[in-house]
Amino acid sequence: MNLKDIIERLDLKVYSGNTDREVSGGYASDLLSDVIANAKPDNLWITLQTHMNIVAVANLKELSGIILINNREPEETTLSKAKEEDITILSTGMQCFELVGKLYEMGIHGNGE
Amino acid sequence: MLKEYKADFHIHSCLSPCGDIQMTPKAIAEQAKANGLNAICICDHNSSENTAAAIEACKQNGIELLFGMEVNSKEEVHTLALFDDIHSLNELQKTVYDNLNGENDDETFGYQMVINEDDEIADINPRLLIGATELTVETIVDRIHELGGIALASHVDRERFSLIGQLGFIPPDLKLDGVEISPNYIRKSMRYDFPMAPGFTQVTFSDAHFLHDIGKTFTIFLVEKITVSEIKKALENKDGRSVIAYS
Protein backbone atom coordinates (compact mmCIF):
# COMPACT_ATOMS: atom_id res chain seq x y z
CA MET A 1 0.00 0.00 0.00
CA ASN A 2 1.18 3.51 -0.73
CA LEU A 3 1.70 5.90 2.17
CA LYS A 4 -0.11 8.66 0.26
CA ASP A 5 -3.37 6.66 0.30
CA ILE A 6 -3.06 6.05 4.04
CA ILE A 7 -2.48 9.74 4.72
CA GLU A 8 -5.49 10.68 2.66
CA ARG A 9 -7.87 8.09 4.07
CA LEU A 10 -6.92 8.70 7.70
CA ASP A 11 -6.48 12.45 7.28
CA LEU A 12 -2.98 12.44 8.79
CA LYS A 13 -1.02 15.62 9.29
CA VAL A 14 2.28 15.66 7.40
CA TYR A 15 5.24 17.21 9.23
CA SER A 16 8.11 16.15 7.03
CA GLY A 17 9.49 13.81 4.43
CA ASN A 18 8.51 11.98 1.30
CA THR A 19 4.97 10.59 1.31
CA ASP A 20 5.18 8.65 -1.95
CA ARG A 21 6.45 5.41 -0.44
CA GLU A 22 5.36 1.80 -0.24
CA VAL A 23 4.35 0.52 3.20
CA SER A 24 5.29 -3.10 3.92
CA GLY A 25 3.50 -3.38 7.26
CA GLY A 26 3.13 -1.66 10.59
CA TYR A 27 4.80 -1.71 13.99
CA ALA A 28 3.51 -0.01 17.16
CA SER A 29 5.84 0.55 20.11
CA ASP A 30 7.11 3.31 22.39
CA LEU A 31 10.32 1.54 23.33
CA LEU A 32 12.88 2.52 20.71
CA SER A 33 15.08 -0.40 21.67
CA ASP A 34 12.16 -2.70 20.80
CA VAL A 35 11.60 -0.97 17.45
CA ILE A 36 15.28 -1.40 16.61
CA ALA A 37 14.93 -5.10 17.39
CA ASN A 38 11.59 -5.85 15.70
CA ALA A 39 10.52 -3.37 13.01
CA LYS A 40 11.07 -4.35 9.38
CA PRO A 41 12.09 -2.22 6.37
CA ASP A 42 9.30 -0.01 4.98
CA ASN A 43 7.15 -0.53 8.09
CA LEU A 44 5.00 2.34 9.25
CA TRP A 45 5.83 3.01 12.91
CA ILE A 46 3.16 4.15 15.38
CA THR A 47 4.43 5.79 18.57
CA LEU A 48 3.92 8.53 21.14
CA GLN A 49 7.66 9.25 21.38
CA THR A 50 8.65 12.62 19.91
CA HIS A 51 12.35 12.66 20.81
CA MET A 52 15.00 13.24 18.14
CA ASN A 53 16.12 9.61 18.40
CA ILE A 54 12.97 8.50 16.51
CA VAL A 55 14.51 9.95 13.34
CA ALA A 56 17.67 7.92 13.74
CA VAL A 57 15.68 4.75 14.42
CA ALA A 58 13.49 5.31 11.34
CA ASN A 59 16.61 5.88 9.30
CA LEU A 60 18.42 2.84 10.68
CA LYS A 61 15.45 0.53 10.12
CA GLU A 62 14.53 2.11 6.76
CA LEU A 63 10.96 2.69 7.92
CA SER A 64 8.42 4.21 5.54
CA GLY A 65 7.25 6.72 8.13
CA ILE A 66 6.39 7.55 11.74
CA ILE A 67 2.86 8.32 12.93
CA LEU A 68 2.67 10.26 16.20
CA ILE A 69 -0.57 9.55 18.04
CA ASN A 70 -2.83 11.59 20.33
CA ASN A 71 -2.02 14.89 18.59
CA ARG A 72 1.60 14.74 19.68
CA GLU A 73 3.97 17.08 17.91
CA PRO A 74 7.61 16.34 17.15
CA GLU A 75 10.18 18.33 19.16
CA GLU A 76 11.81 21.13 17.15
CA THR A 77 15.09 19.26 17.05
CA THR A 78 13.27 16.13 15.89
CA LEU A 79 11.55 17.96 13.06
CA SER A 80 14.68 19.68 11.77
CA LYS A 81 16.56 16.39 11.81
CA ALA A 82 13.67 14.64 10.02
CA LYS A 83 13.71 17.30 7.30
CA GLU A 84 17.47 17.02 6.99
CA GLU A 85 17.32 13.23 6.63
CA ASP A 86 14.07 13.08 4.66
CA ILE A 87 12.24 11.02 7.28
CA THR A 88 8.46 11.08 7.06
CA ILE A 89 6.76 12.25 10.26
CA LEU A 90 2.96 12.25 10.41
CA SER A 91 0.49 12.78 13.21
CA THR A 92 -3.08 12.04 14.14
CA GLY A 93 -5.57 12.91 16.88
CA MET A 94 -6.41 9.22 17.19
CA GLN A 95 -5.12 7.08 20.03
CA CYS A 96 -2.89 4.12 19.30
CA PHE A 97 -5.59 1.45 19.55
CA GLU A 98 -7.98 3.23 17.22
CA LEU A 99 -5.31 4.07 14.65
CA VAL A 100 -3.94 0.53 14.55
CA GLY A 101 -7.51 -0.76 14.13
CA LYS A 102 -8.07 1.50 11.15
CA LEU A 103 -4.77 0.48 9.58
CA TYR A 104 -5.65 -3.18 10.12
CA GLU A 105 -8.99 -2.65 8.38
CA MET A 106 -7.09 -1.13 5.47
CA GLY A 107 -5.09 -4.33 5.09
CA ILE A 108 -1.97 -3.69 7.18
CA HIS A 109 -1.90 -6.81 9.35
CA GLY A 110 1.53 -6.84 10.98
CA ASN A 111 5.14 -5.98 10.31
CA GLY A 112 5.08 -7.90 7.03
CA GLU A 113 6.95 -10.98 8.29
CA MET B 1 44.00 14.24 51.06
CA LEU B 2 42.30 11.74 48.82
CA LYS B 3 40.21 9.08 50.48
CA GLU B 4 38.10 6.14 49.37
CA TYR B 5 34.40 6.66 49.89
CA LYS B 6 31.98 3.77 49.58
CA ALA B 7 28.87 5.40 48.16
CA ASP B 8 25.30 4.43 47.32
CA PHE B 9 23.74 7.42 45.56
CA HIS B 10 20.48 5.80 44.43
CA ILE B 11 18.21 4.96 47.37
CA HIS B 12 14.42 5.35 47.42
CA SER B 13 12.69 6.36 50.63
CA CYS B 14 9.07 5.77 51.65
CA LEU B 15 8.19 8.90 49.67
CA SER B 16 8.52 6.92 46.45
CA PRO B 17 5.27 5.02 45.96
CA CYS B 18 7.28 1.85 45.36
CA GLY B 19 9.57 2.43 48.37
CA ASP B 20 8.96 0.22 51.40
CA ILE B 21 7.25 1.96 54.34
CA GLN B 22 10.26 1.16 56.53
CA MET B 23 12.46 3.37 54.34
CA THR B 24 12.45 6.48 56.53
CA PRO B 25 15.49 8.76 56.26
CA LYS B 26 16.58 7.74 59.78
CA ALA B 27 16.31 4.01 59.02
CA ILE B 28 18.16 4.51 55.73
CA ALA B 29 21.03 6.36 57.45
CA GLU B 30 21.31 3.69 60.17
CA GLN B 31 21.27 0.87 57.61
CA ALA B 32 23.88 2.69 55.51
CA LYS B 33 26.16 2.87 58.54
CA ALA B 34 25.56 -0.78 59.42
CA ASN B 35 26.46 -1.79 55.86
CA GLY B 36 29.72 0.17 55.91
CA LEU B 37 28.76 2.94 53.51
CA ASN B 38 30.41 6.37 53.79
CA ALA B 39 28.04 8.36 51.59
CA ILE B 40 24.46 8.15 50.36
CA CYS B 41 21.88 10.06 48.38
CA ILE B 42 18.12 9.62 48.62
CA CYS B 43 16.70 9.79 45.09
CA ASP B 44 12.93 9.54 45.15
CA HIS B 45 10.81 9.60 42.02
CA ASN B 46 10.22 13.22 40.99
CA SER B 47 10.42 14.42 44.59
CA SER B 48 12.90 15.54 47.22
CA GLU B 49 10.65 16.04 50.20
CA ASN B 50 12.36 13.47 52.44
CA THR B 51 15.81 14.94 52.02
CA ALA B 52 15.53 17.53 54.78
CA ALA B 53 14.92 14.79 57.35
CA ALA B 54 17.95 12.90 56.08
CA ILE B 55 20.39 15.71 56.99
CA GLU B 56 20.29 15.18 60.75
CA ALA B 57 19.94 11.39 60.43
CA CYS B 58 23.10 11.19 58.32
CA LYS B 59 25.01 13.51 60.63
CA GLN B 60 24.20 11.30 63.61
CA ASN B 61 25.39 8.20 61.78
CA GLY B 62 28.53 9.75 60.30
CA ILE B 63 27.27 9.36 56.74
CA GLU B 64 27.98 11.95 54.03
CA LEU B 65 24.87 13.07 52.17
CA LEU B 66 24.28 14.37 48.68
CA PHE B 67 20.90 15.88 47.73
CA GLY B 68 19.12 14.13 44.92
CA MET B 69 16.11 13.08 42.93
CA GLU B 70 15.28 10.59 40.19
CA VAL B 71 13.45 12.59 37.53
CA ASN B 72 11.19 10.92 34.97
CA SER B 73 11.18 12.56 31.53
CA LYS B 74 8.51 12.89 28.87
CA GLU B 75 10.05 9.86 27.14
CA GLU B 76 9.87 7.94 30.47
CA VAL B 77 13.64 8.03 30.85
CA HIS B 78 14.90 8.14 34.45
CA THR B 79 17.78 10.47 35.31
CA LEU B 80 19.55 10.84 38.66
CA ALA B 81 20.25 14.39 39.80
CA LEU B 82 22.83 14.94 42.57
CA PHE B 83 23.47 18.27 44.33
CA ASP B 84 25.57 19.73 47.13
CA ASP B 85 22.78 21.60 48.81
CA ILE B 86 19.06 21.39 49.42
CA HIS B 87 18.45 24.80 47.86
CA SER B 88 19.45 23.68 44.37
CA LEU B 89 17.46 20.50 44.80
CA ASN B 90 14.40 22.52 45.80
CA GLU B 91 14.77 24.57 42.63
CA LEU B 92 14.76 21.39 40.57
CA GLN B 93 11.75 20.26 42.59
CA LYS B 94 9.84 23.38 41.46
CA THR B 95 10.65 22.71 37.80
CA VAL B 96 9.56 19.09 38.15
CA TYR B 97 6.29 19.84 40.00
CA ASP B 98 5.42 22.54 37.43
CA ASN B 99 5.63 19.84 34.76
CA LEU B 100 4.11 16.86 36.54
CA ASN B 101 0.41 16.09 36.21
CA GLY B 102 -1.90 13.66 37.94
CA GLU B 103 -2.82 12.48 41.39
CA ASN B 104 -1.45 9.40 43.10
CA ASP B 105 -3.71 6.43 43.75
CA ASP B 106 -2.09 5.07 46.88
CA GLU B 107 -4.04 1.80 46.76
CA THR B 108 -2.56 1.05 43.34
CA PHE B 109 0.92 2.59 43.43
CA GLY B 110 1.64 2.81 47.15
CA TYR B 111 1.71 5.48 49.85
CA GLN B 112 3.99 8.50 49.44
CA MET B 113 5.03 9.41 52.96
CA VAL B 114 6.79 12.63 53.82
CA ILE B 115 8.82 12.11 57.00
CA ASN B 116 9.86 14.84 59.44
CA GLU B 117 13.10 15.16 61.43
CA ASP B 118 11.57 13.21 64.33
CA ASP B 119 11.07 10.23 62.01
CA GLU B 120 7.30 10.70 62.00
CA ILE B 121 4.86 10.87 59.07
CA ALA B 122 4.34 14.58 58.44
CA ASP B 123 2.32 14.40 55.27
CA ILE B 124 1.17 12.21 52.39
CA ASN B 125 2.26 13.56 49.03
CA PRO B 126 -0.80 13.56 46.71
CA ARG B 127 1.03 13.96 43.38
CA LEU B 128 1.48 11.20 40.83
CA LEU B 129 5.20 10.89 41.59
CA ILE B 130 5.58 7.73 39.51
CA GLY B 131 4.33 9.63 36.44
CA ALA B 132 6.24 11.14 33.55
CA THR B 133 6.94 14.87 33.55
CA GLU B 134 6.41 16.95 30.43
CA LEU B 135 10.15 17.65 30.27
CA THR B 136 12.41 16.09 27.67
CA VAL B 137 15.48 14.27 28.96
CA GLU B 138 17.65 17.03 27.42
CA THR B 139 15.73 19.73 29.33
CA ILE B 140 16.16 17.78 32.57
CA VAL B 141 19.91 17.29 32.11
CA ASP B 142 20.36 20.98 31.20
CA ARG B 143 18.33 22.11 34.22
CA ILE B 144 20.38 19.90 36.56
CA HIS B 145 23.57 21.47 35.19
CA GLU B 146 22.17 25.01 35.42
CA LEU B 147 21.59 24.35 39.11
CA GLY B 148 25.12 23.03 39.59
CA GLY B 149 24.33 19.33 39.81
CA ILE B 150 25.44 16.01 38.37
CA ALA B 151 23.23 14.16 35.86
CA LEU B 152 23.50 10.39 35.59
CA ALA B 153 21.37 8.18 33.36
CA SER B 154 19.63 5.67 35.67
CA HIS B 155 20.06 1.90 35.13
CA VAL B 156 20.87 2.28 31.41
CA ASP B 157 20.96 -1.47 30.87
CA ARG B 158 17.27 -1.94 31.76
CA GLU B 159 14.56 -2.13 29.14
CA ARG B 160 12.02 -0.01 31.00
CA PHE B 161 12.54 3.56 32.18
CA SER B 162 16.12 3.71 30.96
CA LEU B 163 17.68 6.00 28.42
CA ILE B 164 18.69 3.15 26.11
CA GLY B 165 15.50 1.11 26.57
CA GLN B 166 13.21 4.05 25.87
CA LEU B 167 15.28 5.86 23.25
CA GLY B 168 17.27 3.02 21.70
CA PHE B 169 20.69 4.58 22.23
CA ILE B 170 22.24 7.51 24.10
CA PRO B 171 21.34 10.71 22.21
CA PRO B 172 24.63 12.07 20.87
CA ASP B 173 24.17 15.61 22.21
CA LEU B 174 23.07 14.65 25.71
CA LYS B 175 25.53 16.09 28.25
CA LEU B 176 25.47 13.33 30.86
CA ASP B 177 28.12 13.13 33.57
CA GLY B 178 27.95 9.36 33.66
CA VAL B 179 25.70 6.32 33.49
CA GLU B 180 24.43 3.97 36.17
CA ILE B 181 24.46 0.23 35.54
CA SER B 182 21.90 -1.75 37.53
CA PRO B 183 22.89 -4.49 39.98
CA ASN B 184 20.92 -7.00 37.89
CA TYR B 185 23.10 -6.42 34.84
CA ILE B 186 26.25 -7.26 36.76
CA ARG B 187 24.68 -10.32 38.39
CA LYS B 188 23.24 -11.69 35.16
CA SER B 189 25.97 -10.88 32.68
CA MET B 190 28.90 -11.48 35.06
CA ARG B 191 30.58 -8.44 33.62
CA TYR B 192 31.06 -4.88 34.81
CA ASP B 193 31.32 -3.01 31.55
CA PHE B 194 28.15 -2.14 29.74
CA PRO B 195 28.96 -1.99 26.01
CA MET B 196 26.23 0.41 24.87
CA ALA B 197 27.56 3.46 26.70
CA PRO B 198 31.06 3.95 25.27
CA GLY B 199 32.82 7.07 26.50
CA PHE B 200 30.70 7.41 29.65
CA THR B 201 32.01 6.67 33.11
CA GLN B 202 29.95 3.92 34.68
CA VAL B 203 28.84 3.68 38.27
CA THR B 204 26.49 1.35 40.05
CA PHE B 205 24.20 1.87 43.03
CA SER B 206 21.59 -0.25 44.78
CA ASP B 207 18.38 1.51 43.61
CA ALA B 208 17.17 0.18 46.98
CA HIS B 209 13.45 0.16 47.72
CA PHE B 210 13.91 -2.00 50.86
CA LEU B 211 16.27 -1.52 53.81
CA HIS B 212 18.12 -4.79 53.22
CA ASP B 213 19.16 -3.66 49.72
CA ILE B 214 20.94 -0.48 50.84
CA GLY B 215 24.63 -0.63 50.03
CA LYS B 216 24.38 -4.12 48.53
CA THR B 217 25.57 -2.43 45.39
CA PHE B 218 27.88 0.57 45.65
CA THR B 219 30.63 2.55 43.96
CA ILE B 220 33.94 3.54 45.54
CA PHE B 221 35.04 7.07 44.74
CA LEU B 222 38.58 8.26 45.36
CA VAL B 223 38.00 11.90 46.27
CA GLU B 224 38.93 14.51 48.85
CA LYS B 225 35.38 14.86 50.13
CA ILE B 226 31.82 14.14 49.05
CA THR B 227 30.86 17.17 46.98
CA VAL B 228 29.51 17.57 43.47
CA SER B 229 32.77 19.06 42.20
CA GLU B 230 34.83 16.20 43.64
CA ILE B 231 32.46 13.51 42.30
CA LYS B 232 32.47 15.26 38.93
CA LYS B 233 36.26 15.14 38.87
CA ALA B 234 36.15 11.45 39.76
CA LEU B 235 33.72 10.80 36.90
CA GLU B 236 36.10 12.67 34.58
CA ASN B 237 39.12 10.90 36.06
CA LYS B 238 40.77 14.27 36.77
CA ASP B 239 43.32 15.55 39.30
CA GLY B 240 43.88 12.06 40.70
CA ARG B 241 40.19 11.65 41.54
CA SER B 242 38.58 8.51 40.18
CA VAL B 243 35.89 5.91 40.31
CA ILE B 244 38.02 3.06 41.58
CA ALA B 245 35.58 0.19 41.86
CA TYR B 246 32.01 -0.84 41.89
CA SER B 247 30.18 -3.89 43.04
Instruction: Residue A16: give its domain's CATH number.
Output: 3.40.1390.20
| Closest-CA residue of chain A to B138 | A51
Q: In which order are the strands placed within the sheet that holds B39-42?
A: B202-203, B178-180, B150-153, B78-83, B64-72, B39-42, B3-11, B219-223, B242-246
What does the pLDDT average to over A4-23?
97
- Asked if residue A16 belongs to a domain, the reply is yes
Interface size between A and B, measured as CB pairs under 8 A:
40
A75–B136 C-beta distance less than 8 A: yes
pLDDT interval class at A2 (50, 70, 90): very high
| Closest-CA residue of chain B to A75 | B136
Chain A contact for B171 (CB, 8 A cutoff)? yes
Residues of B in contact with A76 (CB under 8 A): none
What residues make up the domain containing A24? 3-105
pLDDT in tens, B77-106: 999 999 999 999 999 999 999 999 999 998
What is the number of domains present in chain A? Answer: 1
| Residues A85, A10: Cα–Cα separation, whole Å | 25
B168–A36 C-beta distance less than 8 A: yes
- Asked if residue A92 belongs to a domain, the reply is yes
- Asked if residue A110 belongs to a domain, the reply is no
Task: Tell me the pLDDT of chain B averaged across its residues.
Answer: 94
Domains and CATH numbers, chain B: 3-246 (3.20.20.140)
Q: How far is A50 from chain B (nearest CA, A)?
A: 8
pLDDT in tens, B226-245: 999 999 999 999 999 999 87
Q: How far is A42 from chain B (nearest CA, A)?
A: 19
- Asked if residue A111 belongs to a domain, the reply is no
- Asked if residue A8 belongs to a domain, the reply is yes
- Asked if residue A113 belongs to a domain, the reply is no
Full pLDDT tens readout for chain B, 247 residues: 999 999 999 999 999 999 999 999 999 999 999 999 999 999 999 999 999 999 999 999 999 999 999 999 999 999 999 999 999 999 999 999 999 999 999 888 899 999 999 999 999 999 999 999 999 999 999 999 999 999 999 999 988 899 999 999 999 889 999 999 988 887 787 776 788 888 899 999 999 999 999 999 999 999 999 999 999 999 999 999 999 877 7
Q: Which of B135, B127, B140 minimizes the C-alpha distance to B80? A: B140
- Asked if residue A112 belongs to a domain, the reply is no
Q: How far is B72 from chain A (nearest CA, A)?
A: 14
- Asked if residue A90 belongs to a domain, the reply is yes
